[in-house]
Amino acid sequence: MYEGSVTIDSNETLEALLGVTEIDGDLLIEGAVTTLGALDCLRHVRGTLEVKNTELSTFEGLQRLVSAATVEVHGNEKLRSFASFGIVEVEGLFWIYDNPSLEEVQLDLAKFVGGLVIGKCFSANPAEFSGNQALTKIRFPGLSGGKIVVVHLAGNPSLAAIDGILEWSSSIISLDLQGNTMLDGEAVRTAWIAAGKDADMITTCGNLGDENPCICTGTG
């Protein structure tokens, strides 16, 4: 176990975590980091895992990570995919925003996540949303056995569909869709209700065809 929190800002400093299976604090990864291979033994981060402003294109190297208290991933201009991110349990919020090249989010969130936030908004103007501009696909292949308290999708202008909404909606308490201008919010609402979910637990605004304007609320 690594005692305390640690900041990684280069591939060289990452080597300090070779063989570490648990960090008893926060893990901040930032700056000129291009690979996470040295973290292939890491399974638990007891504090916050934050990945910001790196040179990473994937999360390859974190396939064995099981849990973190919270996760925040933002400002990574080259990040293209979450498909190799192995985490299955997050106690608090899991934020993914302002990653302009991110095309795919695939997470095996099989246990519990307090809140999943993909995108972020700061005002009622969709132009000021800080989402993931290239994001087109969201998949949760392992979610049928777990639970997410709230899912908030905001300001992802290329997101046209949420794969498997009828399959994973049973694991979600509430769903909030704001300013995803290619996403048919009413179609998602219809699928949500058809799956037996409470109509009062889904909100949509500023999506494709939505007439009601967004006033940024909730987690995002």
- What are the sequence ranges of the domains in the chain? 1-87, 110-133+142-220
Q: How many CB atoms lie within 10 A of CB 106?
A: 16
**Confidence category of residue 110, pLDDT binned at 50, 70, 90:** low
Lowest-pLDDT choice from 21-30, 63-72, 171-180: 171-180
Distance from C-alpha of 207 to C-alpha of 157, rounded to nearest angstrom: 9
More confident of the two residues 204 and 168: 204
Specify the pLDDT at position 214.
74
Q: What is the CATH number of domain 1-87?
A: 3.80.20.20
Specify the pLDDT at position 168.
63
CA 132 from chain center: how many Å?
10
- pTM for this structure? 0.89
Specify the pLDDT at position 142.
58
Q: Which of 4, 31, 35 is nearest to 18 (CA)?
A: 35
Q: Which of 194, 94, 195, 76 is nearest to 153 (CA)?
A: 94
**Confidence category of residue 5, pLDDT binned at 50, 70, 90:** very high
* Tens-digit pLDDT profile for residues 69-94: 999 999 999 999 887 677 878 888 99
